[in-house]
Amino acid sequence: MRVAIYGYGNLGRGVELALRQNPDCELVGVFSRRAPETVKTATGAPVYAAADILNFKDEIDVLILCGGSATDLPKMTPALAKDFCVVDSFDTHANIPAHFAAVDVAALAGNTLCLISAGWDPGMFSLARVYAGAILPDGEDYTFWGRGVSQGHSDAIRRIPGVLDARQYTVPVPEALEAVRRGDAPTLTTREKHTRECFVVAAPDADKAAIEQAIVTMPNYFADYNTTVTFVTAEELQRDHAGLPHGGRVIRTGRTGLDGEHTHAIEYSLRLDSNPEFTASALVAFARAVCRMKARGRTGCLTAFDVAPADLSPLSPEELRKKLL
Amino acid sequence: MRVAIYGYGNLGRGVELALRQNPDCELVGVFSRRAPETVKTATGAPVYAAADILNFKDEIDVLILCGGSATDLPKMTPALAKDFCVVDSFDTHANIPAHFAAVDVAALAGNTLCLISAGWDPGMFSLARVYAGAILPDGEDYTFWGRGVSQGHSDAIRRIPGVLDARQYTVPVPEALEAVRRGDAPTLTTREKHTRECFVVAAPDADKAAIEQAIVTMPNYFADYNTTVTFVTAEELQRDHAGLPHGGRVIRTGRTGLDGEHTHAIEYSLRLDSNPEFTASALVAFARAVCRMKARGRTGCLTAFDVAPADLSPLSPEELRKKLL
């Protein structure tokens, strides 16, 4: 399948690298809104101007969008869905129904097949929730994130005056995790589920106490959590916190039996050295499914929920049954 | 959907109980090869003679087969697939391709839709392997079972002369599990992955040393494992080992990046108080998918790999996207 990348940041680079691991994929090129000659790709993939993408309509089977969910994808995905089969990683949970509707209209009008919100959350975590909920109807879901870097929270700290750089880790509370796993089915507040660890580089003349106060009281981002702030040098941040690890787990516990006397726990967990590279790898697998389903005549908008797992795999149905079932 | 149960042991009873948790399901009845009046169901579901099942052809949307994989299902599933949409939990991994082929022929001839090998392994563990392999092509799979009761191994011990009863637990080796999770990608022998714990009730005059020797040297079942044998009284076995807990985990570790410098671990784990009740709950979810896919015109044989997750859930696609994505 012939794949193109639209947008070249950490995620686009991850897709470029992931495609090399999938022999059935061919990278047509990277499309960027920056001047192509200023974009250097990791593997030397050709770079084209985003404005020229319609010239490549017949050369691209599926286009993987690597823009941000805040401002890029809400416009980008429906616009490109008219002419291309696209896959995106739209992750603003509350706006998924509206995004789905907009992409569905565009895809049906353009006779394309699109898939939104691929990745790990939304994505693999969402799938874990659907499977577990279908098997254990009498139960409860828990999602824990981390230990990992939240880029949104890191950005929020960087916007505080006097902050030069920052890294924020989301960390699940071990006691909460254990109570859930045991099957206690606890009701947990935001504060009881996760803590937040912040590593901050302050400007030389900055008021560190004021920065710390600004962080721990920040509404939505930190006020509802137990938050620790550690000031580090730029060198320490680069040395100890340069990566983008993440992960987490979805747990569903539930009951079966004549009187609900048996409890069960289903847990899906991820430990990721690189959040963008793992997300990119998921996008490539879903791009494969989109190609196959489009070839069978499907059009419109999909999510991971609509994809039979066999369509994600490079193996044939016969191989899958023989080797993995 | 109108569901019937064929075969009434632990699994059939589990399906009966699981159906009560799914308001979109109606239990038509239990079909048994025993005399119906001798079968007492957990919730008072009606029992019919298996020989009469064709009289119910127009009243059953999907038939859940609860026979054993060794001798029942290889004949039962293809035979019933001619007249009913059936779901089974066939779990003899090596014979899945042949079983699939036989059921596919029968289902296509009968214009029915059937799904084989639902449950947790094969079933949910198989799905975990397919998803993880599609996302991390450069990686390795590990499956650990337990701590849990292996009924096959318990039966093998019971066949030894002088043994009155027995319970065998399969236990993963913690060090192996940790090495895998860390991403060491170890090559593990059978002995390095699991140990086996046997609790045995011996006849009063039995030679316990001979029984222990017969167990630990038994080919295929125990010879390749570190096995411990503990003799207990019938009362102790009943008190401490009456349940059928099981579980396990599928782990895939893999690498991404320019030089494979980032490692990732995907882990799917189950902790089950009742192996048959959890398997039964999975069978009911897959029965729902079979009904929906049949209504859309699909026929032949499927496995879990062919089912879009949305089809397993009682929630509508809109609800799924809004609540679980």
Per-residue pLDDT tens listing for chain A (325 residues): 999 999 999 999 999 999 999 999 999 999 999 999 999 999 999 999 999 999 999 999 999 999 999 899 999 999 999 999 999 999 999 999 999 999 999 999 999 999 999 999 999 999 999 999 999 999 999 999 999 999 889 999 999 999 999 999 999 999 999 999 988 999 999 999 999 999 999 999 999 999 999 999 999 899 999 999 999 999 999 999 999 999 999 999 999 999 999 999 999 999 999 999 999 999 999 999 999 999 999 999 999 999 999 999 999 999 999 999 9
Taking an 8 Å cut-off on Cβ atoms, the answer to whether A96 and B256 are in contact is no
Number of Cβ atoms within 10 Å of the Cβ of B322: 15
DSSP B164: E
Using CB atoms, pick whichever of A17, A130, A267 lies closest to residue B258.
A17
CA distance A159 to chain B (A): 29
- Chain B interface disruption, residue of A13, A43, A181, A305, most B CBs within 10 A: A305
Task: Decide if B306 and A310 are in contact by the 8 Å CB cutoff.
Answer: yes
Q: How many residues appear in chain B?
A: 325
Q: Give the pairing of strands A163-172 and A194-202.
A: antiparallel
Q: Are residues A134 and B304, on separate chains, in Cβ contact within 8 Å?
A: no
pLDDT tens-digit series, residues B73-126: 999 999 999 999 999 999 999 999 999 999 999 999 999 999 999 999 999 999
Give the gap in angstroms from C-alpha A149 to the nearest C-alpha of chain B.
15
Q: How far is B122 from chain A, CA to nearest CA, in Å?
A: 5
Q: Which two tokens stand for residue A120?
A: 């790990």
Q: How does DSSP classify residue B81?
A: H
Residues 6+ apart with CB under 8 A from B137: A21, A22, A314, B254
Q: What is the pLDDT of residue B89?
A: 97
Q: Do B100 and A134 count as a contact with CB atoms less than 8 A apart? A: no
Contact A278 B256 (CB under 8 A): yes
Q: Which residues of A touch B127 (CB under 8 A)?
A: 131, 309
Mean pLDDT of B176-181: 95
Distance from CA of A87 to the nearest CA of B (A): 15
Of B138, B266, B324, the CB nearest to A129: B324
Cβ <8 Å between B321 and A96:
yes
**Do the chains contact at B305 and A321, CB–CB below 8 Å?**
yes
CA distance A20 to A7: 18
Quick check: A256 and B320 CB within 8 A?
Answer: no
Query: Over the stretch A204-235, which tens digit does the pLDDT of each residue have?
Result: 999 999 999 999 999 989 999 999 999 999 99
Chain A residues with CB inside 8 Å of B324's CB?
126, 129-130, 133, 305
Residue showing tokens 């994130």: A145
For A298, the token pair is 């499907």
Contact B256 A265 (CB under 8 A): no
What is chain B's Cα-based Rg? Answer: 22
Burial class (CB in 10 A: 0-12, 13-18, 19+), A231: middle
B11 min Cα distance to partner chain A (Å): 12
- Torsion angle, CA of B274/B277/B278/B280, rounded to 10 degrees? 160
Tell which of B256, B275, B311 to mutate to test the A interface (max A CBs under 10 Å). B256
Identify the CA nearest to A190 among candidates A175, A168, A213, A172. A172
Asked if A76 and A51 count as a contact pair (C-beta separation under 8 A), the reply is: no
**Of A111, A199, A103, which Cα lies nearest the Cα of A147?**
A199
Q: Please, is A247 exposed, middle or buried when counting C-beta atoms within 10 Å of its C-beta (0-12, 13-18, 19+)? A: buried
Kindly report the pTM of this predicted structure. 0.96
Cβ within 8 Å, pair A325-B313? no
B261 to chain A: which residues are within 8 Å by CB? Answer: 273
Chain A contact probe: residue of B25, B103, B120, B325 with most A CBs at under 10 A = B325
According to DSSP H, which parts of A190-296 are helical? Answer: 190-193, 208-216, 234-240, 275-295
Chain A residues touching residue B274 (CB < 8 angstroms)? 256-257, 262, 264
CB pairs under 8 A between A and B: 212
- Closest-CA residue of B relative to A131 is B309
State how far residue B206 is from chain A, nearest Cα, in angstroms: 36
SS3 A3: strand
Helices (H) and strands (E) in chain A, counts: 11, 14
**Contact criterion met (CB < 8 Å) for A266 and B267:** no
Cβ neighbors of B190 (< 8 A, separation 6 or more) are B224, B225
- Is residue B221 a contact partner of residue B150, using CB atoms and an 8 Å limit? no
Residue B39, min C-alpha distance to chain A (Å): 17
B75 Cβ contact list (under 8 Å, min separation 6): none
B126 to chain A: which residues are within 8 Å by CB? 324-325
Question: Residues B282, B284, B285, CA angle at the centre, nearest 5°?
Answer: 65
Smallest Cβ–Cβ distance between B257 and the set A100, A135, A274 belongs to: A274
Closest-CA distance, B212 to chain A, in angstroms, reads 32
d(CA B130, CA B250): 11
- Where do we find the tokens 């990348």? A5
Among A175-179, B8-12, B67-71, B72-76, which is the least confidently predicted range?
A: B67-71
Amino acid at B7: G
- CB-based contact B325 A312, cutoff 8 Å: no
Q: Which of A200, A189, A201, A249 is nearest to A225 (CA)?
A: A189
* Half-sphere exposure for B34 (CA within 13 Å, toward CB): 12
Task: Give the E-state strand segments of chain A in sequence order.
Answer: 2-6, 26-32, 47-49, 62-65, 86-87, 113-115, 139-145, 148-149, 163-172, 194-202, 226-231, 246-256, 262-272, 300-302
